[in-house]
Amino acid sequence: MDALSDVLQTVRLTGGVFLVGRFSAPWCIMSKVELSDCRPYLNKALQLVAYHHVIAGRMLVSMEDGGTIEVQAGETILLPRNDPHKLASAPNVAPTRAGPLIQPGTDGGLAQIRYGGGGAATHVICGYLGSDQFRNPVIETLPPMLKIATSPEGAEGLIETSLRFAAQGLQKGEIGDRSIMCKLSELLFIEAVRRYVTAAPQGQGQGQGQGQGRGQDQGRSGGGWLAGMRDPAVGKALALIHARLNYPWTAEELAGEVALSRSAFNDRFTHLIGVPPKRYLLQWRLKVAQEKLRDGARSVAQVAHEVGYEAEEAFNRAFKREFGLPPSAWRKQANQETEVQGTGATP
């Protein structure tokens, strides 16, 4: 298996379908799927990837801080970090909030939006992919928007044909097709990442995708995670780290797993990722620990064990060095900030 496949296996995404949109020009809505919209289907999700699949017609998808992408029938657009965005029939149409327009489905069917001025029709399926890993590096490396236009041949054609079949079933209220669409959306994400990685110029740490609008071509990753994924040795090491985060990895052992000397592996990893493997492992363990602490379901000792620390004291010291507070104090502060945000009060 290639390095990219190994890394993608660690992302652990679960697909879902949110609603069916039926629009008529002119129309424009503000869209952002919240975690609360996906309960109880994604109880453990910490991050969402939004997607919109156009069944018929066309639409423009845009974000406030950069570009616009046109999406036509048979195409899908993914928003890896679920950033707020607009869906519209044309530029300069006044937007309205999607929330008040959503009508619950009948007899267990999907929720729907029917909205617009009565002109050209556009039918859209809106869905999500949930990840139990907050700020997974794969997701962080991708641009804010990725469009997938499948070809009629090969594996891509199979995905497109299957999507069209499931979409037609959903329009008819055939609930069984919802699970098919969920699985297809997971495959679609993998296909999107593969195309993005393949299209990025060799040697570029944060590659540029094809078909992206202005301002949509840069990933957020501070280092060269994209370049790391493309490298057979570093990509395999990344996959091993993320798949077995609580394992006591050493640079020597990782180097052995990828058939390099310790010095050669350390140099290559540092050159591509921006930090040595030991530092990367520490940072990612503590980032995962933050999210587990924020969740509140585990004790500090349990979190320490789950991210690879045998001794709670060692975990406490490492966490405080990285974030300035011991784990228990950090969790208390994070919970207080969340409560303040929930009430709309000013801290």
Residue 173: pLDDT over 70: no
pLDDT averaged over every residue in the chain: 79
**Tokens 């406030």 sit at which residue?**
64
CATH of the domain at 264: 1.10.10.60
For residues 306 and 180, membership in a common domain is answered with: no
For residues 189 and 247, membership in a common domain is answered with: no
Domain containing 28: what range? 3-199
Instruction: Calculate the CA 175 to chain-centre distance.
Output: 25
CATH of the domain at 153: 2.60.120.10
Query: pLDDT (tens digit, 9 = 90+) per residue, 207-222?
Result: 333 333 323 333 333 3
Residue 104 in any domain: the answer is yes
| CB-count burial class (<10 Å; 0-12, 13-18, 19+) for 214 | exposed
Residue 23 in any domain: the answer is yes
| Whole-number pLDDT of residue 57 | 95
> 3-state secondary structure string, 255-320?
HHHCCCCHHHHHHHHHHHHCCCHHHHHHHHHHHHHHHHHHHCCCCHHHHHHHCCCCCHHHHHHHHH
| Whole-number pLDDT of residue 32 | 81
Q: What percent of the chain has pLDDT over 90?
A: 35
**Tokens 């493309």 sit at which residue?**
230
Residue 117: pLDDT over 70: yes
Residue 187: pLDDT over 70: yes
Of 95, 94, 121, 108, the C-alpha closest to 21 is: 121
Query: pLDDT (tens digit, 9 = 90+) per residue, 314-346?
Result: 999 999 999 999 999 999 888 776 555 444 443
For residues 34 and 162, membership in a common domain is answered with: yes
Domains held by the chain: number: 2
For residues 33 and 171, membership in a common domain is answered with: yes
